[in-house]
Amino acid sequence: MEAKHLSKYMSADIARVESIMRASLGSDIRLLQETNNDVLASGGKRIRPIMAVLVAKALGRCNDDTYLFAAASELIHNASLLHDDVADDASLRRGKPTVSSILGPRASVLLGDFWLVKGIDVILSAQRYGDRVMHGFAKTLSHLAEGEMLQLELARTGRTTEEDYLRVIFDKTASLFEVSAYSAAISAGVPDARVAAAANYARCVGMAFQIKDDIFDYQEASNIGKPVGQDLRERKITLPLLGAFKTKPERETEIRKKVCLVPEHPEYIAEIMEYVRDGEGIHYAEKRMQYYLHEAVESLSAFPDCQEKEYLAYVVHYISERTF
Ligand code: FPP
Ligand code: MG
C-alpha cells in the first residue's frame, strides 16, 4: 500500500472536511479571508481528520457529526501551529514562510484565535454528543498550553528528563491525535471499550509521530519543510539527544550546558549533532517510536476486520516510513 492509495480512497472524505473548514472560516474581513486561504492552501497531511474518519468507518457508523469533529481537529491543529510559530519564532512551516514571519506575531496569534474559536463552534454545531466531545477537546486544549509552558520551562533549565519529554509530546501532539479518534468513536455511538481502544490507538500514533518529527530535526536529508537543528536553536532536548546521554553519559553535563547556550553559540549545534550521531541517539529514538507503533497496532485488535482497519494499520506503517 502507498500513501497515494489512502489519499485517493479518502479523497471525498477529505473534500468534505475541507469544505466544513472553509465554510466555518468565513469572514467579511479581507485580511482574514486572504490569510485563511493561504493557510488552507498550504495543506498539511490532514492526518488527524483522515484517522478520525477511518476510525468512525471502521466502527461502522460514520455520519455528519464525524466530519464536523474531524474538521474541528484540523482547525484546532492549525490554530495551535499559528500560535506555536510565534512561540518558537519560526520562519518556515510546510516549506513556506509562516504567517508570523509575513504578517507579524500579532496577526498569527489572532488568526490562531480565530481558527480555534471556529473549531469550537464546529464541535458545538454537532447534532449529538457535542457537549461530551467539547469536554474532550477542552482537556486537550489545556494539554496543548501546558505542554508548551512545560517546554518553555525546560528550555530555561536544560534539565529535561525522558519522563518530561514524554509528557511534553503527549501534551503538545498526542493529546490532539487522541481526541480526534475519541470524538470520531463517540460520533459512531460505540461502547466505551471501543472508544478507549480508538483513543489509545491514536495516542500511540501521535507519540510516534512527534518522535519521528524530533528525529527529522537531526537529519540533514529530511524533506520536512523546516530547517534542521531548529529544536536545539529553541533549546529543546528531545529523544535523540536523551538517547545519546544514555550511551555517552560522560559528556551529558557539558552537552546540557551547551544546549542552554546555543542561542549565543550557534556553533554548538554541529557539535551536539555529532554527539547524537556518535551516541546512536537516532537509533534509540527509533526504538521508542517502534514501541508506540506496536502499541497502536495492538489497540486495533479491538476493531472489527474491515478495509478501514487495514488503512489504520497502514497509517502506523506510514508514520514509521514518512519522509516529511
Ligand atoms: C508544535 O511543536 C506545537 C504543537 C503541536 C502545539 C502548540 C500548542 C500551543 C502553542 C498552545 C496553544 C494552542 C491553542 C490552540 C490553545 P513543535 O514546535 O515541536 O513542532 P514544529 O517543529 O512543527 O513547530
Ligand atoms: Mg514549533
Q: Nearest to residue 89, comparing CAs of 68, 108, 113?
A: 108
Alpha helices, H only, 217-280: 230-233, 239-247, 252-261, 268-278
CA of 26 to the centre of ligand 1 (A): 24
Cβ-in-10-Å burial (0-12, 13-18, 19+) of 176 comes to buried
Ligand nearest to the Cα of 151, by number: 1
Averaged over successive runs of 10 residues, the pLDDT of the chain (324 residues) comes to 83 96 96 95 90 96 96 98 92 92 96 98 97 98 96 94 98 98 97 97 97 93 72 96 98 96 95 96 97 97 95 92 76
Cβ-in-10-Å burial (0-12, 13-18, 19+) of 251 comes to middle
CA of 308 to the centre of ligand 2 (A): 31
Q: Quick check: CB of 100 below 6 Å from ligand 1?
A: no
Q: Count Cα atoms within 13 angstroms, Cβ side, for 271.
A: 14
What is the model's pLDDT at position 43? 78
Q: What 3-state DSSP class applies to 91?
A: coil
Residue found by looking up cell 521508542 in the block? 288
Q: Nearest to residue 206, comparing CAs of 78, 311, 88, 293?
A: 293
Burial 80-110 (b: 16+ CB within 10 A, else e): bbbbbbbbbebeebeebebbbbebebebbbb
DSSP assignment letter at 28 = S
What is the number of residues in the chain? Answer: 324
- Residue 93 backbone dihedrals phi, psi, to 5 degrees: -145, 130
Q: Quick check: CB of 172 below 6 Å from ligand 1?
A: yes
What is the model's pLDDT at position 62? 94
pLDDT, tens digit, 9 for 90 and up, residues 88-97: 888 999 889 9
CATH 1.10.600.10 for domain 3-321: yes
CA of 93 to the centre of ligand 2 (A): 9
Ligand nearest to the Cα of 120, by number: 1
pLDDT, tens digit, 9 for 90 and up, residues 142-188: 999 999 999 999 999 999 999 999 999 999 999 999 999 999 999 99
- DSSP letters spanning 167-193: HHHIIIIIHHHHHHHHHHHHHTT--HH
Rounded to 5, what percent of the chain is helix, strand, coil?
Answer: 75, 0, 25
What is the model's pLDDT at position 323? 72
pTM of the model as a whole: 0.94
Query: Which atom belonging to ligand 1 lies closest to the Cα atom of 214?
Result: 19
Q: Partners of 92 in the beta sheet? A: 97
What is the model's pLDDT at position 221? 66
